[in-house]
Amino acid sequence: MSTFTAFETAGPLRLVQVGAGGMGQAWLDTIAANPDVQLVGLVDLNTDAAQAALESRGLQDVVVGTSVSEVAAATGAHAVVNVTVPVAHHPVNVEAMFAGLPVLCEKPAAPTVAQALSLAASAEVSGQLLMISQSRRYFNSLTQLKAVAGELGDIGVITTEFFKAPHFGGFREEMDHVLLLDMAIHPFDAVRHLTGQEPVSVYCEELNPSWSWFKADAAATAIFEFAGGLRYVYSGSWCADGKETSWNGSWRVNGARGTALWDGDNAPTAEGVEGAALEIPASLDAPEQIAGSLAEFVSAVRTGNLPNGEIHSNVHSLAMVEAAVQSAETGQRVRIDDVIAAAYTQALESERNADVKAALAAWGSPQARLSGSGARSRALSS
C-alpha cells in the first residue's frame, strides 16, 4: 500500500514555486496572501522573468534558480507548487517528490493518462503527496449545488453549457482539441466532484465553427455515461460571442425529486416535484479557486487527510478528456476503462525508473488501484 507522510511545521509551510508565467503570477499573489505558507524559492527556466515577477511584487528573500531540487535544498523547503506548462509537469513533479517534497501541481496532471499513471506510481514509491490543483472545485456556490444535488434522489441527467469568446493569442489558437484539452477538464472534474460517481464511457464530436479564430476544435459536445447510470452532457464553444456563460458554464442537475440550476457564478436555484420548494444551504465563506486548493494542500500535508485532486483519483478526470478526444477522432463511443488500460500498458513500457516500473507492475489492475485504494496517508510528528 502506498503512503504519504504528513508533517507539522512550527511556522508557515516553506514553499518553492516552479513556473513564473501567466498562471504563476496568480499563484505568487495567492501564496503571498496566505499566512500558512511562505515563498522561499522560485524556479523557472527563465530566471530573468522569475526575478521580474518577484520585484514587481516587492517579494524579497526568495531564492531564484532553474532546478527545483537545488532550490529546495538551498532553502529548506517543505513543499513545491508546480505551475509550469503541462509537458513539464511530469519531470518537475518526479524531481520534487524524489527530493522528498510533497507537490501541489496545476491541472492537467500531465499531457497523457500514461504519464499521470507514472506520476501516481512515483508518488507511491517516493512516499509523497501529489495533489492536482483542480481550482474549479473550489467555489462556494458549487458547494451549495453539491448539497442541493444530494437532495434530488437518483440523478438522471446533468448538463453544462459553456459558451465564451476569449481571444488568448499564443499556443491555444494553434493547438488541436483546444477546448477539450485546455478547458473541459474543469467541468469534467467538477461533475465527478458533484456526484461522487466515476465515468464509464463517452461519445464526443468536435467542431471548429466557420468563424473560429482558433486553428482547430474550438467547440465540442460530449455525452458521458457514469457508473450510476446518469448521463452528463457537455456542450461548449470558445467562439461564442453574445450572451456568454460564466467561466464555470451553466449547469442543470435533474433527479427523481427535482431540478437544480447553477449559472456558475451565483448561488444555485432549485425546484422539487410539482413546484415544491427545495432548500439551498447558506454559502460557506471558504477560500475559492487556487486559494481553495492551496488551503486544502496545506491541510493535507499537515493532517495526512487525502485531499481532492490526489493523483490516483485525478487520473479519472484526465481520462475523461483523453477518451473524449479519442471519441471525436474515431467517431466511436469510448470506454474510460479501455483508455486507462491502454495507458497502463504504455506507462509500463515507457517507464525508465526501475522502482516506479516495479510499483506499476505490482498494481495488476490499474482501475482497482485508482479507485480509492491507491493512496493512503500516515502522520508523522516532526
Ligand X SMILES: NC(=O)c1ccc[n+]([C@@H]2O[C@H](COP(=O)([O-])OP(=O)(O)OC[C@H]3O[C@@H](n4cnc5c(N)ncnc54)[C@H](O)[C@@H]3O)[C@@H](O)[C@H]2O)c1
Q: Which residues bind ligand X (CB under 6 A)?
A: 18-24, 43-46, 49, 83-86, 88, 92, 106-107, 135
Report, in Å, the least distance between residue 354 CB and ligand X.
23
CA separation for the pair 344, 13 (Å, rounded): 34
Report, in Å, the least distance between residue 255 CB and ligand X.
29
Report, in Å, the least distance between residue 66 CB and ligand X.
7
Report, in Å, the least distance between residue 164 CB and ligand X.
13
Smaller CB distance to ligand X: residue 84 or 118? Answer: 84
Task: Tell me the residue number closest to ligand X, measured at CB.
Answer: 21
Smaller CB distance to ligand X: residue 135 or 377? Answer: 135
Smaller CB distance to ligand X: residue 86 or 100? Answer: 86
CB 37 within 8 A of CB 45: no
Q: What nine digits make up the cell of 225?
A: 455515461
Smaller CB distance to ligand X: residue 83 or 306? Answer: 83
CB 331 within 8 A of CB 202: no
CA separation for the pair 304, 314 (Å, rounded): 18
3-state class percentages of the chain: helix first, strand second, coil last, to nearest 5: 40, 25, 35
Smaller CB distance to ligand X: residue 168 or 229? Answer: 168
Report, in Å, the least distance between residue 311 CB and ligand X.
15
**71 sits in which H/E element:** helix 68-75
CA separation for the pair 217, 250 (Å, rounded): 21
Report, in Å, the least distance between residue 319 CB and ligand X.
17
Residue type, 55: E
Burial status of residue 33 (CB atoms within 10 A of its CB: 0-12, 13-18, 19 or more): exposed
* CB atoms inside a 10 Å sphere around CB 150: 15
Report, in Å, the least distance between residue 211 CB and ligand X.
25
Smaller CB distance to ligand X: residue 84 or 237? Answer: 84
CB 272 within 8 A of CB 253: no
Smaller CB distance to ligand X: residue 18 or 356? Answer: 18
CA separation for the pair 24, 82 (Å, rounded): 9
Burial status of residue 277 (CB atoms within 10 A of its CB: 0-12, 13-18, 19 or more): exposed
Smaller CB distance to ligand X: residue 88 or 175? Answer: 88
Report, in Å, the least distance between residue 20 CB and ligand X.
5
- Strand 63-65 relative to strand 37-43, pairing: parallel
**161 sits in which H/E element:** strand 155-163
